[in-house]
Structures are given as structure tokens and as C-alpha cells.
Amino acid sequence: MAHVYVIHENSDWTKPLLRELTERETPHREWFLDRGIVDFENPPPEGVFYNRMSASSHTRGHRFSPELTKAVLLWLESHGRRVINDSRAMSLEIDKTGQYAALSAYGVPTPRTIAAVGRESILEAAAAIPAARILTKHNRAGKGLGVRLFENRDALSSYVFGDDFADPIDGITLVQEFIEAPDQTIRRLEFVSGKFLYAVQVDTSAGFELCPADTCQPGDAFCPVGSTERPKFEILDGFDHPLIRPLEKFLAEQGMKVAAVEIIEDAAGRAYAYDVNINTNYNAEAEARAGQSGMGAIADFLSEELSHVRSGELREVCALS
């Protein structure tokens, strides 16, 4: 019998989805990928294969999980299996330079960004960006890891040639103009089944590690009783934006059925997309307040996809009988 296979390397992030699939009585299995072999001549099982592999897997000791996942996805695709977030999506998940190039092709603005390999090259890249304040980030990261803001070139130089400098896992540091949002927020646009689901506003005043999953939160991420401060994550009711339609087209043509795209607006109201994630997570507190369920929407989508696969299996049996 065909199943939904959930490909991942972090069980904490997968539990909410598995609960939703169980509630729907959708047959499913976890596929934890951190080592193994891929035999292209051996056919894979029937089913729907949902890729939730993360760019930050190396921070959990799974250095080569994305590379193994890419091979597995190519194997599945070569045998005609239904893959959600396919090998094209996997390539972009671990390559922000690829994301920016692809987004630009769909008319989606991105911040001025230069890729650099080598410490001297990082300073050279910074000199080519006219903005006074710049960010550095890892080309392959996740969770906002490696993102640093520098007020001037001297501070950047001290970091680059200091003991705290962290080499990116793929060797590529991105040097990027800092887009300053007047209210210190970004918006994370969530897409399921290739369609816009909702937008969550994220308060960045405390830093750039913006993972919304509950397991990412260091304690209570929300206001204490009596506080007038806003929550870190807040789903926006009735949100619409001119970038939603171009992003839906971008996701469809890049093999991404489930994804999140982070955007930021400057003081003039210009919007930029700066990060795309296929391993999307949701904040339970924000969803409870808004009456939304991202994982529920994904479970509905996967269950429907599985019903199509199983209907195809049934037609084949009938044709042979």
C-alpha cells in the first residue's frame, strides 16, 4: 500500500506533521536521511515523498544529509514517483545565490548581494556596496545562523580577521546591503500546495534567528503579563501583497509545493525577498491566536496527493484483472 514518506533529519520539527497525518488516518512513514546508499536500478516504493530536508542540518551533526537527499530525490524522480519539493527545490534550499538568481528572473527584488570566498574577498565585496550598514550571512545556513550586522567597515574587518569569524559550511559568505524596516519586522509568507496560505509578521528587534518552530524558542517568545510589547510571531489577518503572485509562479516552476519566503520592506515601502525555505515550520502560539494550522494544511495536501497515487494504483490493478 502506498504511503506518505516524510524525508527529514530533525524529528522535533516533524512531530507536528506526523500528528496531523495520524489524525487523518493517512498512512505515512518517516524517512530520516543522514546516511545510506541510493541504488538507481532498484525501484522505490509507491507513495508520495515529501522533502523536508533542512539547510541547517550540519548544525545537528548531519553534514551530508542534503547531498544524500538530492540523490534520493533524483532516484525517486527517475522512477516517476510523486515528489513534493523536488531536486530543483533541494538545490535552492542550500544555495541562497541560486535563490536570488531565480527570484530575479521572476521580477522579485532581492537586496544587493555579493558572494565572497576568502576573508580578503569579503572586505572587497563590502567596499563595492554603497550602503553604510551591511549584513554578512552564510550562503548555506538556516534559522538565521551566521547573520551579522555591521555598522561600518572597521567593525566588519575586525570580525573577518578575528577569532569569532565562522567559516560557512560551503565556503561562501554573502555580503549584503542592510534593508532597514522602520518597525523592525519582516514578513514570512507561507505557501502550501503552491498557493499562499498566510503571512506571519516576525519581530527582529532581538536578532535574526527567526525559526518559528516551538523547539527553536529559548523560553517564552511572547509578552509577559501586563507587557505592551508585541509578540515575536503574529499572523496577519487578510494579508495581501503584490509579490504573492510572482512568488507563486516562482515556486511552481522551481518544484516547491510547500515553502516559506521571507520579505522585508524599507522606509519607502519597497519590498525585497531575501530567503526561501522548503523546510517550513510554524509557530503554535501564533497559529492558535489566529485559528490557523500550517501543518494541518500540509497534511490535507499530502493526504489528497496520496489519494491520487492510490487511485492510479487501483486503475492499474483493474486494467490487469
Looking up residue 278, the CATH number of its domain turns out to be 3.30.470.20
CATH number at residue 34: 3.40.50.20
Same domain, 62 and 135: no
pLDDT at residue number 222: 34
User: Stretch 219-238: mean pLDDT, rounded?
Assistant: 64
The answer to whether residue 129 sits within a structural domain is: yes
- With 0-12 / 13-18 / 19 or more C-beta atoms within 10 angstroms meaning exposed / middle / buried, residue 77 is middle
Range of lowest pLDDT (52-56, 98-102, 130-134, 312-316): 312-316
The answer to whether residue 7 sits within a structural domain is: yes
Same domain, 191 and 286: yes
Domain boundary among 156, 177, 198: 177
CB 90 within 8 A of CB 66: yes
Please provide the average confidence, as pLDDT, over all residues in the chain: 91
Same domain, 31 and 66: yes
Same domain, 20 and 126: no
The answer to whether residue 135 sits within a structural domain is: yes
The answer to whether residue 104 sits within a structural domain is: no
With 80 as the cut, is the pLDDT of residue 215 above it? no
pLDDT at residue number 209: 57
Spatial separation of the C-alpha atoms in residues 227 and 135, rounded to whole Å: 31
The answer to whether residue 121 sits within a structural domain is: yes
CATH number at residue 150: 3.30.1490.20
255 band by pLDDT with thresholds 50, 70 and 90: very high
pLDDT at residue number 132: 87
User: Stretch 234-252: mean pLDDT, rounded?
Assistant: 97
% helix / strand / coil in the chain, to the nearest 5?
A: 35, 20, 45
Question: What is the domain range of residue 122?
Answer: 113-177
pLDDT at residue number 227: 39
With 80 as the cut, is the pLDDT of residue 221 above it? no
187 band by pLDDT with thresholds 50, 70 and 90: very high
pLDDT at residue number 146: 79
pLDDT at residue number 315: 57
The answer to whether residue 212 sits within a structural domain is: yes
Grid coordinates in use for 151?
A: 555598522
When divided into structural domains, the chain yields a total of: 3
Using alpha carbons, list the distances in angstroms from residue 207 to 54, 96, 146, 161, 203: 21, 20, 11, 23, 9
Same domain, 119 and 83: no
Same domain, 316 and 242: no
CB atoms under 10 Å from CB of 293, counted, come to 17
Range of lowest pLDDT (1-15, 229-243, 268-282, 300-314): 300-314
Same domain, 286 and 197: yes
pLDDT digits (tens, 9 = 90+) for 52-90: 999 999 999 999 999 999 999 999 999 999 999 999 999
Same domain, 171 and 223: no
User: Stretch 128-137: mean pLDDT, rounded?
Assistant: 93
The answer to whether residue 221 sits within a structural domain is: yes
pLDDT digits (tens, 9 = 90+) for 160-177: 999 999 999 999 999 999
Spatial separation of the C-alpha atoms in residues 260 and 258, rounded to whole Å: 7
The answer to whether residue 223 sits within a structural domain is: yes
